[in-house]
Amino acid sequence: MTLAPDSRELMARARADLRMGVGVVLLQPDGLGALVLSAETLNAERLAAARKLGTPVVALTARRAETLKARAYDGDLARVELPGSLGLDWIQALADPADDLAMPMKGPLKSRREGDAAFARAALCLCKEAQLLPAAVVVELDHAAVLAANAGLTALPVAAVSQAALESSPQHPVVHARLPMAAAEAGRLHIFRPEDGGEEHYAIEIGKPDRDKPVLARLHSACFTGDVLGSLKCDCGPQLRGALAQMGAEGAGLLLYLNQEGRGIGLANKMRAYSLQDQGFDTVQANHRLGFEDDERDFRIGAALLKRLGFKQARLLTNNPRKVAMLENCGIEVVERVPLQVGRGAHNAAYLDTKAAKSGHLL
Ligand SMILES: Nc1nc2c(ncn2[C@@H]2O[C@H](COP(=O)(O)OP(=O)(O)OP(=O)(O)O)[C@@H](O)[C@H]2O)c(=O)[nH]1
Ligand SMILES: [Zn+2]
């Protein structure tokens, strides 16, 4: 056992650093490395310091590059060259689509072809995990480890980032306690904490579901606007309350409340998406313009929590066939899909229709 943080713990530090605007260093075994800064949280002083170290590029996802008409030579991403005359405002306009329509970016943008995109790819992965806009300034360095040590920056192997993206962090039970609720007096709230320093997730157990029978279950993704504020733009609030009510009526069930706000992009980015929706884009187009995929959630967490609580089979309350497929892939048998169609209204009809047309939701 060592006191030093392992690579997963270093990733948690890196996420926190990027959110504050502090750079992180990525290292390759051959000694080559890169300084990475989030485009969203970068300031002018740090950009100037980064420019003294080498030639920065702005890493963008292929989704964002498509909107900006930048060539994504690396497939899933583009490394856009940063002209010497342009600075922070230009980088932030590349990253943030808020003003795309009012002030379109003046191109053409020049994308880098040569070299390895591994640093840029890891940088975008870290930005997404930090729930920042997926855009980063990346400067390749010869003496990256020395820079990290001298400046006190978090340094981690670039391979650790790609490896972590493939795995789902183990979730550990922290505590559970009785919680009488309006929907069911016999309620119990369990808290789970991931090893990787990410968001905690919750399980709400209603009654005493038999572990040897299929449990009436729901994987509910956090929606602050719908669940708490009663937003009419989505169906989350009525789905949450409808699921709990059905479990209460049956006397048993399990609702997993997964802290994957905004289909995994975080509340700030979801509000950016809402702003784009006010400009006429639908929910999927808005995610793409921001540089995200339609859905950035990791549904493996739900399967892991079901298993951890002793369940092997479920009757799943959902309209999303991807949730069913993912649970099955992760070893939970879904014996029945129980539709959950509640809360349709004037404000969310187009949103629900888009989910059906583009994301495969069943109406
Ligand atoms: N990015 C983005 N997220 C949204 C938008 N509207 C709602 N959400 C999020 O979408 C998620 C909805 O989650 P769920 O209701 O669990 O999932 P679902 O895929 O709709 O599937 P079912 O409800 O089970 O049929 C929540 O995390 C919301 O915060 C939007 O316009 N953009
Ligand atoms: Zn919602």
Q: What is the ipTM of this complex?
A: 0.97
The C-alpha atoms of residue 250 and residue 245 are separated, in whole angstroms, by 9
Provide the pLDDT confidence category of residue 363 given band limits of 50, 70 and 90.
low
Ligand 1 atom having least distance to the Cα of 340: 25
Q: Note the pLDDT tens digit of each residue in 75-126.
A: 999 999 999 889 999 999 999 999 898 888 777 899 999 999 999 999 999 9
CA of 243 to the centre of ligand 2 (A): 14
The atom of ligand 1 lying closest to the CA of 297 is 27
Give the integer Cα–Cα distance in Å for 239 and 46.
45
Q: Which ligand is nearest to the CA of 263?
A: 1
Question: What's the pLDDT tens digit per position in 224-261?
Answer: 999 999 999 999 999 999 999 999 999 999 999 999 99
Tell whether ligand 1 has an atom less than 6 A from the beta carbon of residue 227.
no
Whether ligand 1 lies within 6 angstroms of the CB of 223 is answered as: yes
Tens-place pLDDT, residues 263-311: 999 999 999 999 999 999 999 999 999 999 999 999 899 999 999 999 9
Contact call for residues 136 and 38 (beta carbons, < 8 A): yes
pLDDT beyond 70 at 339: yes
Residue 17 confidence (pLDDT) above 80 = yes
pLDDT in the model for residue 1: 59
pLDDT mean across residues, the chain = 94
Closest CA to 123 of 208, 213, 27, 247: 27
Which of 221, 244, 279, when mutated, tests ligand 1's pocket best, judged by the most ligand atoms within 8 Å of its CB? 221
Mean pLDDT of 205-209: 98
Whether this model's pTM surpasses 0.80: yes
Q: What proportion of the chain, given as a percentage, has pLDDT over 90? A: 86
**Rounded mean pLDDT, 186-205:** 97
User: Distance of CA 228 to CAs 164, 222, 241, Å?
Assistant: 32, 10, 11
Q: Pseudo-torsion of CA 34, 40, 41, 45, nearest 10°?
A: 70
272 Cβ closer than 6 Å to some ligand 1 atom: no
- Which residues form the catalytic set? 295, 297
Q: What is the DSSP string of 172-238?
A: EEEEEEE---SS-SSEEEEEEEETTS---EEEEEES---TTS-EEEEEEE--IIIIIT--SSSSHHH
